[in-house]
Structure 1
């Protein structure tokens, strides 16, 4: 059929397709297809202006030697080759995209979409099936694969002619028949194999491409020899079983501490009436059925008689921890806990394979070129992977990156391929790169194209406030005392504060946040990169910014003494600190002071004028009355701010807000990045002050955007915790006679406030830490995706919450800024994503946020290990006090307050011996037994019994546990079953004891002397002593101060 259109003639056709839906079920559909002449070619070499009016113009570069078009099979099986940074000018046909979408995996299709979106690659999808002259109908009797090959060549031919032969076009295929048929058909339209293409165009540029090709080829060949998934139930059977409830679907998470035996599938809350049954145990590798950590699996429950319990023993992680054990020799033992729902994997609905960091075994050898070898993944939860590579000898001491391609039903290990080397094992940059790869974090340098979008700020061309912005923003530079309070050395200052008294007697509180959205426009390259990263990644020794430095550390950073754009929330508060009015809008500010936390706390606590001036550069050029006035204003502002924050916090706490605990340890690095010390961060009230003001702003912004965009506001939800997660907290509290009520956040908060042991300050901190661990994770969501009664934030006790205050380092805040401005300025609401788009974006941001947190944790643990590396295990820094917080059948888990480290301590060894500790001597391992109760472990041997109870203090030794294949970790060994007293504490106690002895001897001598005098003077002694005697040393101020000096007590 031909349809006449004012612009052009459209050819209408019906296309019959058999596709798979999102659940993998095959369905037949009919689609109307309209073909026309002016489909954009997306090349800057176009002579016919077919790109005019499209957003895709200039995606294909002109500065390449050729354009490359992979056929469907090559695009599906060798996509990773085209992801290499060297290769540009890639044309994927619509036919190839459909092949990947419907014949490949979802992850594979997503990778293709990401590659095309990356404008630095110069890759496009050409809609050849809509182009009138590039399309070819499938002929009668023609196979589908033959039609795909002919369509690809037709597209290559069309491109060459369309661009008038300005560039050669290379079609890449591994099909000999296609090469024979089309190879010499048109001059400069080349048809060649992948290997020939790489050797012809890229042999000199990068030999790693050939290695990657060979590895992928070996993986493809192994897949064609065997069938990989025949052991899983058919898709329609899985679908039917999920509907009836026979099967359960969920993400599979492998237990890192017991990787070869335990994995868990968490079902959704609505699928489980009993909270304790939310997890399904997958016991052993055979029940896991080739599923890998992170895969979405379908599980069938075993009969109750076959259910097992979670392991109650500490398993030591070794190089062979994740070694698959296919035999069913797993017997129920006394070391397993209460039985729980147990199942086995019957199908996999989504593979979540990614890039894995791995290492060759120390004794690994390969006897031939491209031979198959097993590599050990960095992550204990991933099984060994079989790859093909020629570089074993060259890379045996390197960490490498590999991908999994398949896992055959009769293979003990999955098949994969080598990608590239990260560097030598143990080198700092290699280990940091491993952490980033393992957490799927990509932080390439910002591109030239991205930098060209940004403003210039140089001494020759300084950036200035624009007149047009001055007219439409509220100017706070002269009317408000604005200042920031951040950690020392902070460069990306997101937030500033102001507080002042109004003429009507009320107080005005202002939170002023960097206006990132002024510089980062929706859809621009900088915005796309910020969205991709979603967050700034903070590691122990460095950070990877979400935004380029010209923004994050300069034009967006609210540093003191310069004019900056801001988005402000300003409240008017009455005398009871209740909100009278609130204003949202864009402002211009000039922060007067850039304070750090310790200084702000000192200002509040009454620091001297000299101390303040020495630490505030902005005051150092002032003197006299002007200096005194400025200091008084600053002190008043800080004090007023802290008073307001106390009220805001009290109000939240009364509503059920939780004050939880997390131990933060600061890594002290030298100039050469060696670790000098690990110091716990001191908590100060000023930390709570800033946090409370930010929470207040986030809450009020959430109210505004939720009111305006009821179906597509970006909020943050903290769900109710699962009851069974509180078991460890309750057990520890019971030991001290405390009761923890978890019925609501309010009762939990009140319970924790009462859990105070006057003789042990660690108890309350540890219990709050355990409460933190019991919490569910907070997450971003779109208001159209949850019912209104699920919008709440459990931990903060707020009905609505979002993130607004950190747009320099969180992309969620950038979205919220745009929504807020659309709400208050009636801005173009077309820029606001709808519910579906926002929900997908929320999932992406949540994933990136978690990845950043995990990377930060991994980095912290790496530098903790580097601190202990090379240290004598008997050094004072390695012998520490530890508190027991969890029991196992063969040991305990402890918390070390000094370093914030948690880990296992063994009481029973692998060979069944138990430990016996003794004063002033090394522990001894002997024959014996272990008896476990609800709150204690009793070790019995020939010397007697020793008991270890929850919240007991013990002494442990820290040493380094080295590993070739995995990350460094610390080993904790029991030394004494008593609290540890450090050398400095011993010196302090010795001084006190010495002073006490001296005092006791002196008082005894004085009493003896007085007894003699009393005997000589007789009855007149008491009267004469009262009239002429010296003041007793017990009451003398002189002797009191002398005792302070002698015992080295601190009087402040």
Structure 2
């Protein structure tokens, strides 16, 4: 059987050597519903081999312009301008990711934006993105189509002069390298300034702006804190209207304040807080009932009694979202008269509270609960350290606090029961040591030490989690619109990346559809290993951030079906909102205290403000560490590699909690390539490897105070051996 073979098109005598861009665009737009691929384009345009690269370049340009979309197999189709709205996070290397505002069908992760397609967008901006490429596994690439809202109109940095123009180098490597200065500010050269952006990058390479505030020199006292306050746009003080509103509140409780409240002043209520705490949100008490069950009281400051909805204080609290805690100061959510006096559950004072009284079984199950508008009288202001010493058997403290010692031991016993119950359901517990700064008599950073995690911390933590769950469950079961604290399941791709890293250490981690118990089991399995801290950190990075939502989708990390924030209304706005909602439900009011339409906005605002506060606190802490590193230039430290990139690797100093970066371009005698399969940088000539999790010795090379970053270099094996020999010699004296 035979027939004529179809003549293959393309590369014939009359083949084209040039293709017009508009002709190519029209051709793809007229193609079938699923577009066309590169091979068909070559055939239908009958192009010469020399023109193939030109066609591919034109197609790539049309993708960049957002006129075409590219799919697997070099398939092209007209771009559907379904714009995705979200927030862009720009990496220091120029590329970015957009976190969609809402879940997009077919896209399972954040949208990757190549550096060339970010356009005028800057880190943190609200943008609209056009999807340009769909990838396997629900991944996608896109281009910024428009900037909807700027994250900031001002930038903090150092005023410099390059011999031709004045510019500001931002104190943030996720922003453009320079902001050209348009006003006369030469007298402030080398100072840290705040710049108002008057022209964003786009048609021009660099943004431009004018100096609007002078913060000081890089070596000034408190400059780090002042830089962070300006950089993150944190509020300084309260307005006159708010101060007057707070001043108008009574200095003490009145009989009218006590009306309609349950009197819990005879209960053996105590607070347990850090030594430095100035405001006390929560108090607790416990009683063992005759049948061996427990009655637990969790009493939370009734802030909503003094801060009415839509008052000046309330509007400001909503704007701030949370208090911000720095090593040397606090930027409070509420004025001091409210946060530190009227609402704070100070010892030996009558205070208003919203109380959750729970009846618990011997195994920690909640058998019953009730909510109360109450008045309490805290018997003692305890610190975590004192409580722990009492639990450990300190005779002097047992004598001093004899009236609360039996209750403390019961609280300890009940907390262990509840903790075990949470573990059995699979709650994830990262019990890692945290760093703490120490200061000398002049107030300068003197060192970084490991903060001690005590079981007394656990006691308070367990009871607050339980109270939050009880409130959330009650509101959900009664179909009362509210705010929830939610934590989604981790991104499967990020989990797989973590699994790949773990396998490189010879460890097994095979999570079943991302069950929290699997993660907790793995954490337990690596306890005490040298790489425990690093792997726990990488696991955390594979998780999504917890956030606020009016829709309850559960809390993955806590393995909790219903969770909210109720226990810290002095310092968190969502807790204050939940108090109002709960009080309205207790009063059986049909009119909601917070309109349902507002809940979504409050959830988004509060999540955003929380992230901002976390970033500010974390960055200031890192900058304070850099002051210490500056005193150790040239010194050698033991470190562990915690991250690998093409241009270098991140390290953490062992026992010092300082992170830094080793640029491979500065390592002498070799060049290095990234081997993703090994999670390592490998020397092209020496074959030396720097692998994730390796322990190495490093030397402090330099500190960039503007960016708050330390740079290190590896110590040669000979120098490391010499250092060890000197250490042994010194220890033998």
Compute the TM-score of the two structures, normalised by the length of structure 2.
Answer: 0.81
Distance 1:892 1:647 in 2: 43
2:631 equivalent in structure 1: 870
Out of 90, 93, 96, the residue aligned to residue 263 of structure 1 is 96
1:405 equivalent in structure 2: 198
Distance 1:519 1:926 in 2: 67
1:909 matches 2:665: yes
Q: In 2, are the aligned partners of 1:514 and 1:556 still within 8 Å (CA)?
A: yes
Q: In 2, are the aligned partners of 1:584 and 1:824 still within 8 Å (CA)?
A: yes
Question: Measured at CA, do residues 860 and 724 of structure 1 come closer, stay the same or move farther in structure 2, by a change above 3 Å?
Answer: same
Q: In 2, are the aligned partners of 1:522 and 1:831 still within 8 Å (CA)?
A: no
1:1035 equivalent in structure 2: none
1:607 matches 2:363: no
Q: In 2, are the aligned partners of 1:356 and 1:401 still within 8 Å (CA)?
A: yes
1:733 equivalent in structure 2: 502
Q: In 2, are the aligned partners of 1:507 and 1:573 still within 8 Å (CA)?
A: yes
Distance 1:940 1:717 in 2: 45
1:655 equivalent in structure 2: 425
**Matching of residues 775-924 of structure 1 within 5 Å:** 775-783=543-551, 790-827=552-589, 830=591, 832-874=593-635, 879-906=636-663, 908-909=664-665, 915=667
Deviations 1:904-955 (A, max 9, x none): 324x325xxxx5xxxxxxxxx214655736235475577x554444322222
Q: More deviation in 512-521 or 669-678?
A: 669-678
Secondary structure of residue in 2 paired with 1:803: coil
1:685, CA displacement in angstroms?
Answer: 2.1
Where structure 2 has 5 or more consecutive residues not aligned to the other structure, the ranges are: 1-63, 68-76
1:809, CA displacement in angstroms?
Answer: 0.8
Question: Measured at CA, do residues 927 and 454 of structure 1 come closer, stay the same or move farther in structure 2, by a change above 3 Å?
Answer: closer
Out of 521, 529, 535, the residue aligned to residue 761 of structure 1 is 529
**Matching of residues 339-354 of structure 1 within 5 Å:** 341-354=140-153
Question: Measured at CA, do residues 516 and 412 of structure 1 come closer, stay the same or move farther in structure 2, by a change above 3 Å?
Answer: same
1:659, CA displacement in angstroms?
Answer: 1.1
1:1046 equivalent in structure 2: none
Question: Measured at CA, do residues 882 and 927 of structure 1 come closer, stay the same or move farther in structure 2, by a change above 3 Å?
Answer: closer
Q: More deviation in 812-821 or 348-357?
A: 348-357
The higher radius of gyration belongs to 1
Secondary structure of residue in 2 paired with 1:821: helix
Distance 2:493 2:729 in 1: 44
1:695, CA displacement in angstroms?
Answer: 0.5
Question: Measured at CA, do residues 854 and 270 of structure 1 come closer, stay the same or move farther in structure 2, by a change above 3 Å?
Answer: closer
Distance 2:101 2:573 in 1: 28
1:705 matches 2:540: no
Deviations 1:438-484 (A, max 9, x none): 22322324526534544677xxxxx4442234342222222x21111
Question: Measured at CA, do residues 833 and 464 of structure 1 come closer, stay the same or move farther in structure 2, by a change above 3 Å?
Answer: closer
Question: Measured at CA, do residues 822 and 300 of structure 1 come closer, stay the same or move farther in structure 2, by a change above 3 Å?
Answer: closer
2:172 equivalent in structure 1: 379
Secondary structure of residue in 1 paired with 2:354: strand
Question: Measured at CA, do residues 408 and 547 of structure 1 come closer, stay the same or move farther in structure 2, by a change above 3 Å?
Answer: closer
1:715 matches 2:484: yes
1:737, CA displacement in angstroms?
Answer: 2.3
Where structure 1 has 5 or more consecutive residues not aligned to the other structure, the ranges are: 1-230, 235-241, 310-337, 367-372, 458-462, 614-618, 620-629, 784-789, 916-924, 995-1052
1:922 equivalent in structure 2: none
Secondary structure of residue in 1 paired with 2:404: helix
Distance 2:80 2:414 in 1: 53
2:88 equivalent in structure 1: 253
Secondary structure of residue in 2 paired with 1:273: coil
1:353, CA displacement in angstroms?
Answer: 4.2
**Matching of residues 478-627 of structure 1 within 5 Å:** 478=266, 480-608=267-395, 610-612=396-398, 619=400
Out of 697, 711, 719, the residue aligned to residue 955 of structure 1 is 697
Q: More deviation in 672-681 or 421-430?
A: 421-430
Q: More deviation in 714-723 or 349-358?
A: 349-358
Question: Measured at CA, do residues 664 and 288 of structure 1 come closer, stay the same or move farther in structure 2, by a change above 3 Å?
Answer: same
Question: Measured at CA, do residues 448 and 289 of structure 1 come closer, stay the same or move farther in structure 2, by a change above 3 Å?
Answer: closer
Distance 1:981 1:484 in 2: 53
Q: In 1, are the aligned partners of 2:363 and 2:418 still within 8 Å (CA)?
A: no
1:292 equivalent in structure 2: 122
Q: In 1, are the aligned partners of 2:107 and 2:138 still within 8 Å (CA)?
A: no
Secondary structure of residue in 2 paired with 1:780: strand
Secondary structure of residue in 2 paired with 1:500: strand
1:247, CA displacement in angstroms?
Answer: 4.7
Distance 2:717 2:302 in 1: 56
Distance 2:435 2:350 in 1: 35
Q: In 1, are the aligned partners of 2:111 and 2:142 still within 8 Å (CA)?
A: no
Question: Measured at CA, do residues 895 and 576 of structure 1 come closer, stay the same or move farther in structure 2, by a change above 3 Å?
Answer: same
1:634, CA displacement in angstroms?
Answer: 2.7
Deviations 1:201-234 (A, max 9, x none): xxxxxxxxxxxxxxxxxxxxxxxxxxxxxx9999
Secondary structure of residue in 1 paired with 2:662: strand
1:280 equivalent in structure 2: 112
Out of 655, 674, 677, the residue aligned to residue 934 of structure 1 is 677
Deviations 1:694-737 (A, max 9, x none): 00011111122334453x31111111111222355324422332
2:74 equivalent in structure 1: none
Q: More deviation in 926-935 or 410-419?
A: 926-935
Out of 436, 452, 464, the residue aligned to residue 229 of structure 2 is 436
Q: In 1, are the aligned partners of 2:87 and 2:101 still within 8 Å (CA)?
A: no
Deviations 1:849-891 (A, max 9, x none): 11111110111011111122334532xxxx3322223333454
Deviations 1:783-839 (A, max 9, x none): 4xxxxxx52111111111111111111111111111111111235x64612222121
1:466 matches 2:257: no
1:898, CA displacement in angstroms?
Answer: 1.7
Secondary structure of residue in 2 paired with 1:587: strand
Deviations 1:754-809 (A, max 9, x none): 5326xx534333322221122111111224xxxxxx52111111111111111111
Distance 2:441 2:417 in 1: 43
1:424 matches 2:217: yes
Secondary structure of residue in 2 paired with 1:909: helix
1:971 matches 2:711: yes
Distance 1:686 1:532 in 2: 33
Distance 1:364 1:961 in 2: 25
Question: Measured at CA, do residues 502 and 469 of structure 1 come closer, stay the same or move farther in structure 2, by a change above 3 Å?
Answer: farther
1:447 matches 2:246: no
1:1017 equivalent in structure 2: none
Distance 1:291 1:467 in 2: 57
In the alignment of these two chains, the number of paired residues is 659
Q: In 2, are the aligned partners of 1:894 and 1:903 still within 8 Å (CA)?
A: yes
Distance 1:246 1:279 in 2: 15
